[in-house]
Amino acid sequence: MCADPLTLRILRATGLTRLLPPATTLDAALDRPEATSGTAGTSGAS
């Protein structure tokens, strides 16, 4: 969750918004599948 204009600008300029897209609310951030811990495919192990 991020609303700071400078942080958002840095995320866009560095391309990190593709990896860590900012969410407008905490609920929106927690609704993302990558926000949940312990789900299949998140450990990187095959």
The answer to whether 33 and 39 have CB atoms below 8 angstroms apart is yes
Contact (Cβ atoms closer than 8 angstroms) between residue 32 and residue 23: yes
Here the tokens at position 21 are: 């897209």
Show me where the domains of the chain are located. Answer: 1-31
Residue-by-residue pLDDT tens, the chain, 46 positions: 677 889 888 888 998 888 777 777 778 777 877 655 655 555 455 4
What's the length of the chain?
Answer: 46
CA atoms within 13 Å, Cβ hemisphere of 40: 0
Query: Which tokens go with 38?
Result: 């312990």
Rounded Cα gap, residues 23 and 15, in angstroms: 16
